[in-house]
Structure 1
């Protein structure tokens, strides 16, 4: 690779990243080499732990204190590896910029977005506050923020996830960089917002002629936007080439596995006379929202608006919609974890007005699995303590030995080593943690499980494994699922009936085959188009 090629923005040679840990040295990146050309989009792909993000963090000098970098990463004539802080600051935020997956953690909640976007303009260009404000308004217009004159004085929490990501893009473009590094910039977004952000980045790339390094585990996105692809596994590059070469003529077995990891298969519907296990009628959920700072007032926000749901034994209902559509609120209302108007029946029992103690016998039969396997498991408990917790409530007479036997059986059923019960959650990968969360539900032998985005935080290959596990458990125990997701490829693979929600209402529902083959509503067609354009 020629470091002096005028067409090369960034040249990386034999880059290594090591971390010193209490358990010894961890080799996170093991000698990677690649170039980034002017105006191109280079995608770095691989599963969690492949080293793709650490590679770019090392180049930017943003590693944790226990990290060390060797090798070379040259931006023009500037060597980034081992550079002084003043040299790095002269490049970062000006010539090379970076945006991250979750803008809420990257934006300072105490400052307006206008102040945050103006900082790099004042620091790198020496603009006055007035001139910087003018430029911020231009940037907000450029990235499609509505009503920028008002929004410039908004705080991050007052904006949606898609708008916050647009703010991050505006901030990264403030000084018209040569290279933008985008680390999972759309993973946390709905499919329609994701499509808008990717289209925006492509438009801005053409306008400014900048290069983009896109770090992602979503090969659908890569196929849609990348010019070249670098595939990483366990800190090494296993393959790199043009987008067409990688997708149509992959040579590495690992690349072939990633390409085959899209969730597949179809779910047969239950028999028409299968009994109804859970039914919600005229479900309505209102939240009181406080407005004003000095003179507080409240107004009602309707999150779920007169929704009907009928779930049969052995059925999987997929609920889809963008953030704010009410799908997660509906799931919690069906489990009586939120106050709701309407009627709820479980099996043949009316449970609408039952209080907490009266609901207890039903709780073991109605379980919930959350999106985030990191946040839903207590770090202070062993896996065995976590998955047997419900037994203390619902089967208090079990002995310690009997609980242990049940824990071993539950772990085996979800494909984990029974010895895992003596370890802690931080010792496991995201996919393994989600299996632990599923085991925690299954140990109680439920009839209905509501799964709220259970695969969205996972790599595609791990998603596929979790979906296959859920199918196996459903077949073995006659389970009924309500599967909530904004990922339509997952919904298509696991559901036999689909409900499409928007603004708290059902806009369309039907069999999975009908919804995906012949959607009747424009909103459904837009969702499907955004998910499968690539």
Structure 2
């Protein structure tokens, strides 16, 4: 591996102007990236990881200001004009963003969006770009790329959208790839494939990778050097082996020890049934052509489940298996065949008739940034549901409830006057959870609620969910690809593949004694010491 330094960062500082005064997000850090090297930046949500790379790329929000140096092959990118930066961004340095749905234009097909960097930086035409796009989609594991090239982002699962972003970043064979939580939305088997792909491309192309993540298993397996950040500062930096075997800083030791733990006991046998789904099927008509009849895709195929008061059903499976679709169908957010009942009464099909019941049946979305209005403070976002379901509350009472909800999810109530873009991905997810919890619902569908959170915060959220469940008798449908979290929060597990349930049972049974080959593959991927490497 060559030791040429291609990116040198010195005394980088990032400050945001907020309603509560200036906030210093990055406080004078130094980084060095060499050709062919993989460095990892780790730390809790809000530690400044993402803002560091956004500052380097000149992508800070309007109220953000960066100072210091970020030298790419001798060119200082801090303060560089957009015209000059655009010669580097997307060609020499590319970035995989944490939240793909907000990075992909919903009005354009993914093939059109992948063609843009190829045509702008690579000199491709519309005709010559198509074979390259199909090649990229194959590289990142998108099934049927010849068909998917004409899909819109909303037609893909969260994991598939993230893979499209990876393909876009790799389009022009960059010098440096900045990967901001690139495997957050991916299941454990695809995580391994993506990381192996990036490692292979790195060897062939000699590119450097700056990897921002909270998954320490990936860090141990793929990084050469680790920078540990806390409160905007680098508290420890060393070779990966030293960080894991001989950490010096107490904060680093805490990160290495953080892990969701414990198990959940099932509800009493006589616990009342809250939700009953019988033979639920969700079908989508795929695009029809002149030569082919319409193809019907059954994203959820004849699924039945029973959710009791105080129970948590974990739903696991690979991206595209139908997990999220099932969750939305049960809440009547998607058209579905079959019977869905709440407290013994079938849920109405009409959205207006469902509206009064939304308070008791809530959803925490997978993509927090896409579900939070950028024009509203988080205080207003959190209390928005109260305007509908508790209109008699005064503004002061709503504000008090917002403060309490923020405290419940581990955020400072003084942050309620800030906007979503001023928070890290993990903080935004906690805001989304607070918005749901403020209504004190009885059933919550949690769609990857911890996917954007670092391990220490995941542990806190698991504890929070348990405490709220015990206090209010909540029932959860917990959708996730993170087996450690599913095991810690669930007392029953459903395993999905291609829209069907392939195995289900008590959590201990499914995890420790899986019967089906597919379940065994998932468990092996999750439990092969992935998190801390083998």
| Kept in 2: contact 1:15–1:70 (CA 8 A) | yes
1:363–1:277 Cα change, 3 Å: farther
1:219 corresponds to:
216
TM-score by length of 2: 0.81
- Name the counterpart of 1:351: 346
Deviation for aligned residue 1:44: 0.9
Mapped partners of 2:317, 2:201: distance in 1: 28
- The 8 Å contact of residues 99 and 369 in structure 2, kept in 1 or not, is answered as no
CA contact (8 A) 1:100 1:182 kept: yes
> Which deviates further from its counterpart, 489-498 or 13-22?
13-22
Between stretches 521-530 and 509-518, larger displacement belongs to 521-530
Q: Check the 8 A contact 2:382/2:431 in 1, yes or no.
A: no
1:12 aligns with 2:9: yes
**Structure 1 stretch 104-113 or stretch 478-487: which is displaced more?**
104-113
Report the counterpart of residue 510 of structure 1 in structure 2.
Answer: 505
**Aligned residue in 2 for 1:414:** 408
Q: Is the 8 A contact 1:284 1:302 kept in 2?
A: no
- 1:92 matched to 2:89? The reply is yes
Deviates more, 1:327-336 or 1:132-141: 132-141
Q: What corresponds to 2:262 in structure 1?
A: 265
SS in 2 for 1:262: coil
Deviation at 1:275, TM superposition (A): 2.8
Indicate if the aligned counterparts of 1:38 and 1:211 stay in contact, CA closer than 8 A. yes
Q: Does 1:469 align with 2:464?
A: yes
Give the Cα–Cα distance (whole angstroms) in 1 for the partners of residues 75 and 217 of structure 2: 34
Offset at residue 239 of structure 1 (A): 0.9
Distance 2:411 2:57 in 1: 39
Tell me by how many angstroms 1:512 deviates. 1.1
Structure 1 vs Structure 2 CA RMSD: 4.2
Q: Distance in 1 between matches of 2:57 and 2:406?
A: 43
Match of 2:45 among 43, 48, 58: 48
* Among candidates 69, 83, 93, match of residue 72 of structure 1: 69
Where 1:283 maps in the other structure, the secondary structure is strand
Residues 284 and 254 from structure 1, CA distance in 2 versus in 1: closer, same or farther, beyond 3 angstroms? same
| 1:491 pairs with 2:489 | no
How far apart are residue 480 of structure 1 and its match? 3.2
* Structure 1 residues 85-132: Cα deviation after superposition (integer angstroms, max 9, x where no partner): 555344333332222233444345566655655555555565676666
For residue 9 of structure 1, report the CA deviation from its aligned partner: 2.4
Structure 1 residues 362-381: aligned runs within 5 Å: 366-371=361-366, 379=376
Q: What residue is the counterpart of 1:451 in the other structure? A: 446
Looking at structure 1, the residues matched to 163 and 416 of structure 2 have their Cα atoms a distance apart, in angstroms, of 44
Tell me what 2:390 maps to.
Answer: 392
Counterpart in the other structure of 1:436: 434
1:185 aligns with 2:182: yes
Out of 233, 239, 245, the position equivalent to 1:236 is: 233
| Aligned residue in 1 for 2:313 | 317
Shift of 1:184: 1.8
Partner of 2:519: 524
Shift of 1:217: 2.5
SS across alignment from 2:199: helix
Displacement, 1:32? 0.9
Q: Distance in 2 between matches of 1:35 and 1:279?
A: 54
SS class of match (1:471): helix
Alignment counterpart, residue 37 of structure 1, candidates 20, 30, 34: 34
Q: Which structure carries more relative contact order (alpha carbon 8 Å, separation 6+)?
A: 2
For residue 282 of structure 2, what is the aligned residue in structure 1? 286
Deviations 1:233-265 (A, max 9, x none): 222111111222222322222222222332111
Which residue in 2 is equivalent to 1:331? Answer: 327
Partner of 2:253: 256
Residue 138 (structure 1) shift: 5.2
For residues 139 and 373 of structure 1, the distance between their equivalents in structure 2, rounded to whole angstroms, comes to 27
The CA distance in 2 between the partners of 1:518 and 1:217, in whole Å, is 29
Q: Which residue is equivalent to 2:304? A: 308
For residues 289 and 81 of structure 1, do their structure 2 counterparts lie closer, same or farther at Cα, with a shift above 3 Å needed? same
Q: Which moved more, 1:423-432 or 1:220-229?
A: 423-432
CA contact (8 A) 1:286 1:300 kept: no
Deviates more, 1:488-497 or 1:159-168: 159-168
Instruction: Tell me the CA shift for residue 334 of structure 1.
Output: 3.9
What SS does the corresponding residue of 1:94 show, helix, strand or coil?
Answer: coil
- Deviation, structure 1 residue 495: 0.8
Q: Counterpart in 2 of 1:460?
A: 455
**1:494 Cα offset (Å):** 0.7
Structure number, greater radius of gyration: 1
**Of the candidates 172, 197, 214, which is equivalent to residue 200 of structure 1?**
197
What residue is the counterpart of 2:24 in the other structure? 27
**Which ranges of structure 2 fall in alignment gaps of 5 or more residues?**
none
Shift of 1:369: 4.3
TM score, norm. by length of structure 1? 0.81
Q: After superposition, what is the alpha-carbon deviation per residue over 1:301-360, rounded to whole angstroms, capped at 9, x for unaligned?
A: 43333322233343222122234433334334444555544445555x343679889978
Evaluate the alpha carbon distance shift between residue 242 and residue 56 of structure 1 in structure 2; reply closer, same or farther with a 3 A threshold. Answer: same
* In 1: Cα distance, 2:334 partner to 2:41 partner: 42
SS at match of 1:74: strand
- Residue 146 of structure 1: how far off its partner (Å): 5.6
The range that moved more, 489-498 or 281-290, is 281-290
For 2:462 and 2:208, the matched residues in 1 are separated by 36
